Amino acid sequence: MTDETFIEINDLHFSRGARKIFDGVSMRIPKGRITAIMGPSGTGKTTLLRIIGGQVKPDAGEVIVDGQDVCRMSRDELFEMRKHIGMLFQSSALFTDLSVYENVAFPLRVHTRLPEDTIRDLVLMKLNAVGLRGARDLQPSELSGGMARRVALARAIALDPGLLMYDEPFTGQDPIAMGVLVTLIKNLNVALQTTALVVSHDIHETTSIADKLYVIADGQVIAEGSPEALRSDNSARVMQFMHGSPDGPVPFHYPADDLLYDVLGESAA
Amino acid sequence: MTRLLRNLGVLALERLASLGRASIIWAQSVWGLPRAGDLSLLIRQIYNIGVLSLIIIVLSGFSIGAVIALQFYTQLSRFGAEDAVGLGLALVLLRELGPVVTALLFAGRAGSAVTAEISLMKSTEQLSSMEMMGVDPLHRIVAPRLWAGLICMPILATIFNVVAIYGGMVVAVEWLGSDAGSFWSGMQDAVELWEDVGKGMIKSVIFALVVTWIAVFQGYDSEPTAEGIGLATTRTVVLSSVVVLALDFLLTLGMYGDFK
């Protein structure tokens, strides 16, 4: 493995209405490694993946993926770039009118002119890699949440992408499915030498496979480094997140008037 | 007063932005066809949009033709002019009711289905995942539906007209005893290929363009929530119906010249 940078984000700014999502975020995602982006819900982790994939345009800043600035790409260039990116969506996003087999075959059919025999072999290999070769004839509606996510993973790796992005891959999974996904993400990274970007707030699972972590909160990167370095980070915000404390710099209560005043009104004064 | 003006301004800008987005989506989608491999997608949509609409078109066509013939016969027979039922029926259907009612039925059956399907694909991130796979959903999902609508609606309108005339014939000739020869010859004498059939078809093509455009845009631009899907589907039917009726008035004014 090298320390070559695959994704470089410089001074990224993005707002949604009056709310600032990113306020000067900069990151370096190393090639061929697993990098995790963590942070509390609503901090824009999924938005960051969409910005990297060119689905959302930032207000300012640079997003360079494999040497190309995503923000300056034309629509056609973006679609060309995305052929080399695999993304696992939180909802799996399988095509509901296609079987498991056809879902995995979809990118191969659209982007290649391979003969049907070769497509069949590739689909079965990808499905075998996620342990679902036997489920090839099922419809997405017949799959459990964990199985659907594994099929989506097989589809994401169908074209052997250089970058795999995982959007909350562990959310809503039972412990067995979660363990399977953790192993799969790690094994795929080793086997395919793919750069992996995992967005998650599941600390235990993510730190067990990530080579590098970024923690974002309040629109900024508040910490970065190896999992060990972040576990021993003394800053209050990082400690609260890494140890899952309910109260701290990120308050438990949504901003509101004093409880007594709220309940009793003027008489409390 | 200032607030009212500001709100009106905001509303006007939102509508304008929406029209701009709809135009971009339409242009990018139409640009996408024809391509190798798209034929199977188009045929599938022709089946979904056109073939599955056949039953409602045939049933409605028969009923409407029968009702018009009944009303014409009742009124015209008072003046001894029941022989004119055939020509009246044909002109009303070919010029107005055929294209308009087909467009309204199409909006309710196929338009709403297209909107619901696309907005559900959006809410379940299927469109996003397609984009991230390097596949443009405007070409893959929207374009085949637009083209299928454009192909199917004039054909459906033709079928509607044929069935409605048959329905009218059943009532006027078979049931009420009007003379079959007069029914058909009156129709043959009065109907002109371009003035009646051609212009009716042009109306149908324009309605097809508008209804499918509204349907795909409402689906593509919907809020990705359960409520958003419901609202988008309702908007497709309501907006399509209003626009079709308003356009029909303008087209009739433009096509059939000086009414004064």
User: Lowest-confidence range among B21-35, B97-111, B192-206?
Assistant: B21-35
- Whether the predicted pLDDT of A1 surpasses 60: no
- Whether the predicted pLDDT of A10 surpasses 90: yes
Banded model confidence at residue B65, pLDDT cuts 50, 70, 90: very high
Residue A60 contacts residue A263 (beta carbons within 8 Å): no
| pLDDT, tens digit (0-9, with 9 covering 90-100), for B43-57 | 999 999 999 999 999
Higher-confidence position of A238 and B198: B198
Cross-chain residue pair A55–B132, CB shorter than 8 Å = yes
What are the sequence ranges of the domains in chain A?
5-84+161-268
**Which of the residues A47, A70, A82 would you substitute to probe the B interface, choosing the one with the greatest number of B C-beta atoms within 10 Å?**
A82
Residues of chain A in contact with residue B134, where contact means CB-CB under 8 angstroms, are 79-83, 85, 107, 110-111
- Whether the predicted pLDDT of A213 surpasses 80: yes
Structure tokens of A113?
């002119």
Residues pairing with A166 in the sheet: A88, A198
pLDDT at A41: 81
Residues of chain B in contact with residue A153, where contact means CB-CB under 8 angstroms, are none
CATH superfamily of A5-84+161-268: P-loop containing nucleotide triphosphate hydrolases (3.40.50.300)
Cross-chain residue pair A96–B124, CB shorter than 8 Å = yes
Banded model confidence at residue B24, pLDDT cuts 50, 70, 90: confident
| pLDDT, tens digit (0-9, with 9 covering 90-100), for A27-59 | 999 999 999 999 888 888 999 999 999 999 999
pLDDT at B156: 97
**Which residue of chain B is at minimal alpha-carbon distance from A105?**
B133
pLDDT at A268: 65
From residue B94, how far is each of B37, B158, B200, B204, B255 by CA, in Å?
36, 9, 6, 10, 13
pLDDT at B260: 66
| pLDDT, tens digit (0-9, with 9 covering 90-100), for A84-112 | 999 999 899 999 999 999 999 999 999 99
Structure tokens of A246?
């309910």
Cross-chain residue pair A79–B136, CB shorter than 8 Å = yes
Please state, rounded to an integer, the average pLDDT across all residues of chain A: 89
Q: Which residue has the tokens 């409402």?
A: B218
DSSP string, A175-228: HHHHHHHHHHHHHHHHHH--EEEEEE--HHHHHHH-SEEEEEETTEEEEEE-HH
Provide the 8-state DSSP code for A17: T
- Whether the predicted pLDDT of B35 surpasses 70: no
By Cβ distance, the residue of B124, B125, B134 closest to A83 is B134
Q: Which residue has the tokens 């790690």?
A: A186
Banded model confidence at residue B36, pLDDT cuts 50, 70, 90: low
The residue type at B17 = A
Residues B90, B164: Cα–Cα separation, whole Å: 9
pLDDT at A240: 79
pLDDT at B3: 87
ipTM > 0.95, yes or no: no
- Whether the predicted pLDDT of B231 surpasses 90: yes
Cross-chain residue pair A83–B125, CB shorter than 8 Å = no
The residue type at B118 = I
Residues of chain B in contact with residue A96, where contact means CB-CB under 8 angstroms, are 124, 126
What are the sequence ranges of the domains in chain B?
38-251
**Which of the residues B132, B136, B140, B141 would you substitute to probe the A interface, choosing the one with the greatest number of A C-beta atoms within 10 Å?**
B132
Cross-chain residue pair B134–A81, CB shorter than 8 Å = yes
Residue A257 contacts residue A244 (beta carbons within 8 Å): no
Residues B82, B75: Cα–Cα separation, whole Å: 8
- Whether the predicted pLDDT of B60 surpasses 80: yes
- Residues of B at the A interface, defined by Cβ within 8 angstroms: 124-126, 128-129, 131-136, 140
- Whether the predicted pLDDT of A15 surpasses 70: yes
